[in-house]
Every structure is written in C-alpha cells, then in structure tokens.
Structure 1
C-alpha cells in the first residue's frame, strides 16, 4: 500500500547492522549523485567509488548499485569498484567480482532505437542510447513530456517492449527489466541471502525496488518526500543519503 504523508527518517544504519544482517540496494542518479540537466552532466565526487567499496566491505559485500544506466555507463563514472551492480533497470546484473548473474540480457531492436533517435532529433529532445534500452530526455523541453511518452509507448507496443518513466525522461526497455526483479535476483545469491533488504532511491522507477524489499521483509527509503511512494522512510537529499550510509 502506498503512502502520501511525510515519512520519518530511518534509524541509523549502524544500529540496524548491530541487530541483524542488512543488504543495501542504492539507486545512482538522484541518490548517489545529484540530478543534472543530462545524463552526461552529472558531477561524481572524486572518492565516491572508494567510499562505496569501503561500505561494501563493512556490509560483507551486501551492497549493490541498481541504476537505469547501463553497466558500461556506471563503470564510466565509478570505475570498477568491488561492488555488485545492476544496470538498465535490472536487465544486466554483475556480482562484486564482476561475474555476470543470470542470462545475457537482450538488446533492443535496432529499428526501435533508430525510431526513438529520429523522434528526439525532430522534437528537440535528448536521446540516450543504452546497451539494453533507449531513453528520451525532455528536461530542456518539459512541455514535450506527454508527447514523448505517447511516442515511446507506441514504439514499445510495436516491438513487445516496456516503458519506464522518471524525472523528465521516458525509456523503452525489455519486458521484465525492473529494479524489483534485480533485488530479488541479488537476494537469491549467497552474499545477500538471509539479510534484511533496504532500497534507497528517489524516482518512480525505484518503487519496484521499495516493493521488492518490503516483500522480502525489508523496506525502502525515499530520497525526498513523494506522494504515493511505497517507501517506509525518507532522507531529505543526496547529502542525507551520504550521512545515513556514513559514507564519507
């Protein structure tokens, strides 16, 4: 059941870890780094990768970054720290040692990506080609959001794909690619099994992660308050995430 009231801040991570094993799942944009005008415009703290790797060590490797970005894009910004990651909304997963979890994910049909790219060019939007998806960013043209969603939905229906929406972005992905499924997949591995899962995220696509953690006996933490969230708790900002994780 979703909630619309202001959420409380969670108890400290240290207190939770003293009581039971905890598994952490963290979104990237809007959670670990501030939202920017475009996906290539983010500012990543210089020591973020090292801080996440140290956090993973404290958590006995029960930490995973789960992002809408592709794994290749995550690697471009973080390098290759020894932490588990899921990219493309959970379509591609790797363990902390870099080994692939599950089957090799499918790429989107080239015709679908070409259609999205051409639409973005004509409408003055920003197209982001991903390994397993294609996104239309309309932050600079927010009035085009409804039309972009309609076009992307038509493309997804034509090719048997799915839609993800977020903050000024709509993305076409493979069916079944969502952050909740990524949480379930990680929780079935030896490193994560038996722990209490916690998902931290800021956007609509993170709701699947919140719900999955609740199903598995854990909870979600929303970055900022948002009506209709399945999260149980909230922190006010990216800086608040750093503080709660005791990251720096």
Structure 2
C-alpha cells in the first residue's frame, strides 16, 4: 500500500465513514458495541462544517445505525448500500433477495454450535463466529454450501463473520451519494476497516475523482492511507473539527 499525504478539506471533500471497526470498536456480539462518549457530538460537528457532505456507509441496517447514533439522522447507507437515506431524508430501498430459505439452511449449523450467531438483515444474512473462532472454516463451508442453492447473493468474508449479501457494495453506495447534493462535485474520502470496505476505497480513488481510501487496522488493502484503530480515526476527526473551528488549514490525515 502506498502512503501519501493528504489534507482533509471540508469545503471540497465528501466524507464517508464505516461504523463497526472504524468509529466504534468491534464487540463479541453486534449489539454489544460501545459508542464513544463524544462520537455523536463529533459527527454533528463534521456534518455542520462539511455543509452536510457526511454519510455513514455500513453493513448494518439503517435502523440499527439510527439506534446507536440517536438523535442524529445522518445520510446513511445500510446493508452495504441495499438501503440508503439521502441528505434530504428520503429512504431508498433497492430490490434484494429473500433470506428466508437461506436462514433455514443455516439454522442447523447455528443450533449445533451455540457460539455462532446468525444475524438477519434486509436481503442479507451474517454468520458471526467471533465467540467460536475455531469454526471459521466450518462457517465458510456451510455458507458456501447454502449459497449453492440460493440465487442473488454474494459471499463475503469479514472479521470473524461470513456474510451472504445482495449483489450491491459500498462502492455503489458512494457512487449514488456522489450524484446528489451536497456530495456532488466533491472528492470522496472513505474510511473503513474491513474487506467489505474495499469496494468503497476503489470507488473513491478511481478515475478523475482524486479521492482517498483510509484503511483502519492491519491487513492488505488498496487504500492509500492507513490508521491504526478507531481511536486514531476519532482523533483524526477531532483534529479536523478543531482546525475548521479555528479556521486553520485542515489537519493532514
């Protein structure tokens, strides 16, 4: 991965942020994450200084993101872009496959292994093995086998999770936002931590967009910059807000 220096410019850039592993630390169960005390205030400030060109782009459903970030109602993409709330507050839901039969195929595996968790989303299904890491191969093989009988899904391996998701990715979500105000005409900056974020990095850095992907944590990535962990992400964002508030040149990422 190439390292390069880049200033974050509130007037010129559109900021896209993953949630789990980027803004909050990962937890043993998806519902157990802890929102940092100043995160909501920080996102409010970022939204203000960017004139609204800030969006959360996550694998979680919008409903969960709204719960953790209440009372904020930011532009968001959930389930990797299958559902999206625009800056104007309009909800756009793309057609997705039915997960009912896929769930039925995976239930025996989960029932036989109490350490596994099956998370049902709109058009997607995530099989978490964080509490049973020794079952990684078993989960991957089980999901692969189940998907041989179910059309419309893409298999995606993430951090302690294997997911069946619709043929939609975070790059598609970024592209949709960038066609709309206030994101249109701005350079995309996308910060994320997992393999699910690679499509977002690719879109941000593609063609004449001159954008930037920032990878959080270890692992191979096409992102041009890297931060160590969510704490480093929050500090970068705090520094950018502080610089904007004092009308200084934005801090280098």
TM value normalised by structure 1: 0.88
Aligned equivalents of 1:222 and 1:140: distance in 2? 25
Q: Which residue of 1 aligns with 2:213?
A: 220
CA contact (8 A) 2:42 2:237 kept: no
In structure 2, the CA distance between the partners of 1:30 and 1:110, relative to structure 1 (3 Å rule), is: same
In structure 2, the CA distance between the partners of 1:232 and 1:242, relative to structure 1 (3 Å rule), is: same
2:81 to 82, 90, 115: 90
Superposed CA offset, 1:25-76 (max 9, x none): 1100010000111101111124422321221111111111011111111112
Superposed CA offset, 1:5-26 (max 9, x none): 7x45x5442xx34xx5100111
What secondary structure, in the 3-state scheme, does the structure 1 residue paired with 2:31 have? coil
In structure 2, the CA distance between the partners of 1:47 and 1:96, relative to structure 1 (3 Å rule), is: farther
1:187 to 149, 172, 178: 178
Q: Which runs of 5+ in 1 are unaligned?
A: none
Q: Which residue of 1 aligns with 2:112?
A: 122
Q: Which residue of 1 aligns with 2:159?
A: 167
CA contact (8 A) 1:128 1:134 kept: yes
Aligned equivalents of 2:107 and 2:71: distance in 1? 29
In structure 2, the CA distance between the partners of 1:62 and 1:37, relative to structure 1 (3 Å rule), is: same
Q: Which residue of 2 aligns with 1:110?
A: 100
In structure 2, the CA distance between the partners of 1:79 and 1:108, relative to structure 1 (3 Å rule), is: farther
Aligned positions, number = 236
1:154 to 136, 145, 148: 145
Q: Which moved more, 1:26-35 or 1:54-63?
A: 54-63
What secondary structure, in the 3-state scheme, does the structure 2 residue paired with 1:164 have? strand
Q: How many Å apart are 1:205 and its aligned residue? A: 0.7
Aligned equivalents of 1:56 and 1:157: distance in 2? 43
Q: Which runs of 5+ in 2 are unaligned?
A: 243-253
TM value normalised by structure 2: 0.86
